[in-house]
């Protein structure tokens, strides 16, 4: 795409990724969204079109570094998933690089016992 913005390129990557993966009630899709200020994650059952669990940094009062906040979000979402007896997920990085905050979140969820 000539003249495509960063957002256009991310949306193209997201569309390509979503064509290949889908979440179920046994293994929901972990969807990520990053805005300039905040970080949001959801566990989605695509067969029913329902959000099973969600968490964002807006629910935290911490004024820590964003990497630490991403780890805390991973910890809390893993806890919510375990309460619903979810042991495995499908990781949807939504076109973002597997780097920085996204990587910190994923590694923390793995450390909490959630399989990808």
How many Cβ atoms are within 10 Å of 8's Cβ, its own excluded?
A: 11
Q: Which residues contact 74 (CB under 8 A, 6 or more apart)?
A: 41, 104, 105, 106, 107, 108, 109, 112
Measured over the CA atoms of residue 59, residue 53, residue 42 and residue 67, the dihedral's sign is positive
Q: Model confidence at 1, in pLDDT bands (50, 70, 90)?
A: low
Which residue ranges make up each domain of the chain?
Answer: 6-111
pLDDT at residue 20 greater than cutoff 70: yes
Mean pLDDT of the chain: 93
Percent of the chain with pLDDT over 70: 99
The verdict on domain 6-111 having CATH code 3.10.20.30 is no
Distance CA 6, CA 34 (A): 13
* pLDDT tens for each residue of 39-68: 999 999 999 999 999 999 999 877 888 889
* pLDDT tens for each residue of 95-111: 999 999 999 999 999 99
């Amino acid at each position: 795409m000539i003249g495509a913005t960063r957002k256009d390129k991310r949306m193209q990557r997201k569309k390509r990724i979503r064509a290949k993966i889908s979440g179920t009630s046994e293994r929901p899709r972990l969807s990520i969204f990053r805005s300039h200020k905040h970080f949001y994650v959801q566990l989605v059952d695509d067969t029913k079109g329902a959000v099973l669990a969600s968490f964002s940094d807006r629910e935290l009062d911490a004024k820590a570094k964003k990497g630490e906040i991403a780890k805390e979000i991973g910890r809390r979402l893993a806890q919510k998933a375990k309460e619903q007896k979810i042991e495995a997920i499908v990781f949807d990085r939504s076109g973002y690089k597997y780097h920085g905050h996204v990587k910190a979140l994923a590694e923390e969820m793995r450390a909490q016992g959630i399989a990808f």
